[in-house]
Structure 1
Amino acid sequence: MSLQTSWLARCLVVAWMAAPACVMAQQDPRWAEKMFEVDKLDFGVVATGAECKTQLKITNRYVETIQITGVATGCRCAQASTTVKDLASGQTGIIDVSMDTRNFSRKRDSVVTISVYEPSKGALATVRIPVSVYIRTDVVVEPGSVNFGTVDLGQSRELKLSVAYAGRPDWKILQVQNRNPNIEAVAKEIGRGGQRVDYELLVTLKPTASAGVIRETLTLVTDDANNPHVPIPVFAQVESDLTVTPSAINFGTVTAGQVKTQTVVIRAKKPISIEGFNQGKGDKALTVQMPSDARPVHLLPLKFTAPADAGDYQNDIQVIIEGRKEPITLRIQAKIVVPATPAEAPAAEASDAK
């Protein structure tokens, strides 16, 4: 091989190795930015001590797995972190972002920097999300959020916050704006003197709250013409005292008359007794062996005998728990098929043979 040929071959190899790293960038220089649902974060105007936390979502819109190789912020007033390292195609990851409103004040601006990498093409990118907040020095909220934590379904919980204002002696909270009917909030003035005004904020989570996560924001509406609103985050995790696995049962395709069994697991925080079992339909397709004692975990073998009628089967059954107002509802589904009847053979013609 001549020197010129060898040099050309080396150049082709180098060009071939470098090309994949540029493919995604050449197709769309903003490929990494498009994985984020927002391009900036602004907490607005908040009180000193207010909890400023949010979740930045990143969704892999591409076929290849994307790696998050680094998360950082531009100043000590902001924090960002994630436990996600690899994002498969279509997967969404969470980056937790917060601002320190206790040790910093007034206008604070930072940047959350996220580094991502696509290994198969060697594509590297850095996304910068600006984050800002204005921290008031005249209003202090303690604690900085209404965090009810974990609450049992049907239970009520109350929390008290203190709101202190330093400035105008006639400053007032006019109302508390609240969009969630399962939350009640009342601001009560408890002190006024000199340039300081103190309020107590009583927040109640009502027993009507449904199971699940509650994320809301209460807004204190004041008579401050320049900054009338003071936002206060609210969080709660409402958990049922019972968990049912599975809550919906699909027996799949079954032949008429066929019997299938699935076990339903009912877990409670304390021993419970099962009083009864009601079917929504009167076909008696479902039977269950009822336990006779109280226990925190019940295993209910549910036997399904497929009815004679072909088609989609659906039924809601209720498991009645002692001392519980609302029964547990289980949805049953199946597809009933009826085997085809073999065609009868034509009658043999009479023979004329003697």
Structure 2
Amino acid sequence: MIRIFLMSLLFTSSCFINQLTAQDWAVKMFNKCEHNFGTVARGSDTVYRFEITNLYKQTMHITAVRSSCGCTSATIENKTIKTHEKAYIVAKFNTRTFTGFHGATLTVSFGAPYRAEVQVRVHGEIRGDVVFSPGAVVFGNVDEGFAEEQTLTVNYAGPKSWRIVDVTNDNDNLEVELEELSRSIGKVSYNLLVRLKPNVKVGYVKDQITVITNDPRKESRRIPLFVEGRVIPEITITPETLVLGDVAPGASITRKVVVRGKNPFRIVDINCEDDCFTFATQEDSKSLHLVGITFRPEEKTGAVRVPVQILTDRGNSRGATLTISAKVLDSSKPTPVQEGDSRQAGGISENVQVAGGTSN
């Protein structure tokens, strides 16, 4: 009986180890497998995104994610991941319902062609005595060149001696103003104003500021507050990526792009480091311009990828950038026949191929 039990245990352990080894390829795609939210305020928007990068030649599919605890919800951003593309598992701490120390294990499932499961973990402490309202600084969409402000309230339930002693951030584009509203037995309130400066670059703003208190417990003195928004460009270009395809040496190809502005503007300059490109612009001041782009390759062959910057007469030479790509054919060589898909091998280590090599 003991012998049968030991053999069964050995077999189960062996299966577990083989399964673990077989799924190592999936773990390698994650930037990390654990995150500590730290100490956060009740009602605060507390989110972490686990980054997944497809290192392999095959397209990967995330089929599901489940959480072991109601204190954390999980969602998937981008279920289908092609080679070198990224996906995210978004873990959101439920700070409105839970308080105290909590943690959760998130199980991420990958489907065909290669099935696997990867577990990541989050944990942190939700303070029930400190409440942010609203739970984060959300600027939303902000026009380029304009400032934006958001105000939130910090409420503390506890001793009258509690104070916010400082508010810090490492982002020079954010300004913070703190104002004490009231102080009474059992309750302290502050107004916290966060300002986004007008010189912020176009794109997403994702950062955090830290509220520092005089709590007796050292680990509870620093409370993060998340800041997010998006600066919308005044000048846009369509398409942002211009694909010219195959071009023979000495031949030429012309395409047009559309440049739009929220106000009338003139195009004053176009920066491009490749002399094989020429540009045709319009001198009028208007809110929509058509720019002609001609590519005439000379002797060089192979892939071409060139950034192009279009500058306008708007403040600070605001403009837009596009990327142009093409392939200059080598006329002295015949076009190679594309290789067919390689046949799948039996083992996972042979099937899953690293881009540029084979996964071990």
The change in CA–CA distance for 1:300 and 1:60 in structure 2 (over 3 A counts) is: closer
Corresponding residue for residue 346 of structure 1: none
Alignment deviations for residues 150-207 of structure 1 (CA, whole Å, 9 cap, x no partner): 1111110000010011112111111111100000112111111112111100100001
The letter of the residue matching 1:79 is S
Task: Tell me, yes or no, if the aligned pair for 2:38 and 2:125 is still in contact at 8 Å.
Answer: yes
Mapped partners of 2:174, 2:50: distance in 1: 26
Q: TM-score normalised to the size of structure 2?
A: 0.72
- 1:330 and 1:288, CA in 2 relative to 1: closer, same or farther beyond 3 A? farther
Residue from 176, 181, 189 that aligns with 1:190 = 181
Equivalent in the alignment of 1:135? 126
Report the secondary structure of 2:28's partner residue: helix
Q: Report the Cα offset of residue 221 of structure 1.
A: 1.0
Q: Secondary structure at the match of 1:119?
A: coil
Aligned counterparts of 2:225 and 2:255: Cα–Cα separation in 1: 47
Following superposition of structure 1 onto structure 2, how do residues 28-67 of structure 1 map, counting pairs within 5 Å? 28-67=22-61
- The gaps in structure 1 that reach 5 residues or longer are 1-20, 337-354
Pick closer, same or farther for the CA change 1:63–1:279 going to 2, 3 Å: closer
Residue 119 of structure 1, CA deviation: 2.6
1:171 aligns with 2:162: yes
Does the 8 Å contact 1:287/1:304 carry over to 2? no
**Hey, what does 1:351 align to over in structure 2?**
none
Name the TM-score, length of structure 1 as normaliser.
0.73
Maintained 8 Å contact 1:289/1:302: no
Distance 1:174 1:304, change over 3 A: same
Distance 2:81 2:297 in 1: 43
CA distance in 1, matches of 2:64, 2:155: 39
Displacement of 1:81 in angstroms is 1.4
Tell me how far apart the structure 2 counterparts of residues 235 and 259 of structure 1 sit (CA, whole Å): 45
Corresponding residue pairs, total: 309
The CA deviation at 1:104 is 1.1
Amino acid at match of 1:265: V
CA pair 194-86 structure 1, distance change in 2 beyond 3 A: same
Residues 58 and 83 in structure 2, CA contact (< 8 A), matched pair in contact too: yes
How much is the aligned-residue C-alpha RMSD, in angstroms? Answer: 3.9
> What amino acid maps onto 1:101 in structure 2?
T
User: Where does residue 240 of structure 1 map in the other structure?
Assistant: 233
C-alpha separation in 2, matches of 1:231 and 1:246: 38
Matches within 5 A, 1:254-293: 261-268=254-261, 270-274=262-266, 276-277=268-269, 286=278, 288-290=280-282, 292=284
CA contact (8 A) 1:65 1:118 kept: no
Cα separation, partners in 2 of 1:276 and 1:65, compared to 1, 3 Å? closer
1:241 Cα deviation after fit? 1.1
Sequence identity of aligned pairs in percent?
Answer: 29
Tell me if 1:75 matches 2:66.
no
Q: Which amino acid in the other structure matches residue 103 of structure 2? A: D
The structural deviation recorded for 1:133 is 1.9
Q: Using the TM superposition, give the Cα deviation of residue 289 of structure 1 relative to its aligned residue in structure 2, in angstroms.
A: 4.2
Q: Judge conservation of contact 1:191–1:199 (CA < 8 Å) in 2.
A: yes
Structure 2 vs 1, CA of residues 223 and 83 (structure 1 numbering), >3 Å: closer, same or farther? closer
1:228 maps to amino acid: R
